[in-house]
Structure 1
């Protein structure tokens, strides 16, 4: 059953705490280190003929995922609204968060454009059929209607770290230098996005303690990567690209465990049980961080 879409609730950080996290994120990439599709000057050297069939499939897959950016961005508008019906304190929180989301969205949109450009420049796809393919998936609604604010950050923490790990793994096996460089750029951006989410989740856990336990547990219990429930053949495709480079979103769970562990000096029984649960959900279970 689809849950009603409504603004995120539960305990929320103070606006100044969000502002500090956003400032840290912004400082991580000063203007001189930012990039865009037009700043990559060697597109003419891109050659999909240097890729295996599995690597070509992986590029197509991640392009579809990244190109769904309008759906991801809409989630933050819906659940952290900046409209006239939001009470002032919540509005101030959401307005500070909005500074992050617009930068994050711009960077993710650059990822989508760059991957599409690689496909057309390398001969992997023709522009019009590619646009049609992206539109077919991109028009589908993306929704993770959680009740608690911390859940959106915990979900995106896992999603961004899993994506970063996959880009690193894929970069290590491809032989086209243009794609290798591009995947390195994407990976570095995803690492920064993860860091923002990690800092935010850590602050939530430090401030609200056991009140964050059940919400975070729910995220992991029901976790699906973006488009897993809407893209036709998602799971078959995910298994196929995992044969090219390791693709397992549960690899990111250990990073969530570390973030939560770092936030609390003395863990309650509820917190300990949640950490054990998250660890047990990994494909290859590891002991919880101490």
Structure 2
């Protein structure tokens, strides 16, 4: 039996269950495409095991010290944030499994995505400990605090909000990993994060293509969901202890900031889907589209001001360094 949307204020209104059913074929096609292009890789091959040695404690090894790390200061900060974000995978799995279900193509994707994300956390933790890139005690204390609080998404638990959020979030994660590698100062770290970023890009494509189909089925509802997600967007690691300070360091260090968020995360997805050019919308969709356009313009203005402040700060730092 075909599941058709109900009518609301003259517009087709889809429930979550109707959309899940209607998108099943697209999920199956995207899953098959993903499995066809994704390449399995072994986490242990990206870890410099020859650098590893015992830590202090019951193994009576050497205590960690900052000068043991090959990674830059901003690289260490970003690596901890990125890994702690991955550590909350059980909560993320619960969120998407609850929304998308565990049966059929949806369920197969949920489990495959979880397995791939789990691999990211494995290789990052092994790298950090084997290379002594970060303080292992501080990292574990942060992990316990962060995971003890769990994770609850900001996407209002609508299926459309969830799809829209992960389409942007997966790209944001890819950009953050890639830039962390570039600024890490360690070629081994850069290679590892490039491998992870490749996976994250494939995840983004999966959700972006689902979002494209959602725009065909329920343009007004999807436009409203995209508007809500873009305006209120926060990275899933925002609950990490000391996140605000870490985010500021990453912003100044060029790993993730307003300019990157606008130019490299939001704009590519919106442009690919032609979100601001979609026609035939009802009143709610048009209002959401207009508000989205205004927000993006305002965000670009904020990014310009941030760029100016960042350039001035870096210039002052350079001047102090030259004076010795």
What TM-score comes out, normalization by structure 2 length? Answer: 0.72
> Paired residue for 2:129?
120
Q: Structure 1's 52 and 40: CA in aligned 2 closer, same or farther, altered over 3 A?
A: closer
How far apart, in 2, do the equivalents of 1:106 and 1:254 lie? Answer: 29
Partner of 2:201: 191
Number of the residue aligned with 2:254: 245
Asked if 1:160 corresponds to 2:180, the answer is no
- State how 1:102-113 maps to structure 2 within 5 Å: 102-113=111-122
What corresponds to 1:65 in structure 2? 85
1:182 aligns with 2:188: no
| Largest Rg, 1 or 2 | 2
- Residue 39 of structure 2 corresponds to residue 23 of structure 1: no
State the alpha-carbon separation in 1 of the partners of residues 174 and 301 from structure 2. Answer: 19
- Unpaired runs of 5+ residues, structure 1, are 1-6, 83-93
TM score, norm. by length of structure 1: 0.80
State the SS of the aligned residue for 1:50.
coil
Could you give the per-residue CA deviations for residues 266-287 of structure 1, whole angstroms, max 9, x where no partner exists? 454446415414523635579x
Task: Tell me if the contact between 2:48 and 2:127 (Cα under 8 Å) persists in the aligned partners.
Answer: no
**Which residue number in structure 1 is paired with residue 271 of structure 2?**
258
Secondary structure at the counterpart of residue 299 of structure 2? coil
What pairs up with 1:76-115 in 2 under 5 angstroms? Answer: 76-82=96-102, 95-115=104-124
1:188-212 CA distance string (max 9 Å, x none): 1111111111111011102222231
Structure 1 counterpart of 2:222: 212
Of 66-75 and 129-138, the range deviating more from structure 2: 129-138
Q: Which sits farther off after the overlay, 241-250 or 231-240?
A: 241-250
1:96 deviates by: 1.4
Q: Say if 1:65 and 1:227, in contact at 8 Å, map to a contact too.
A: yes
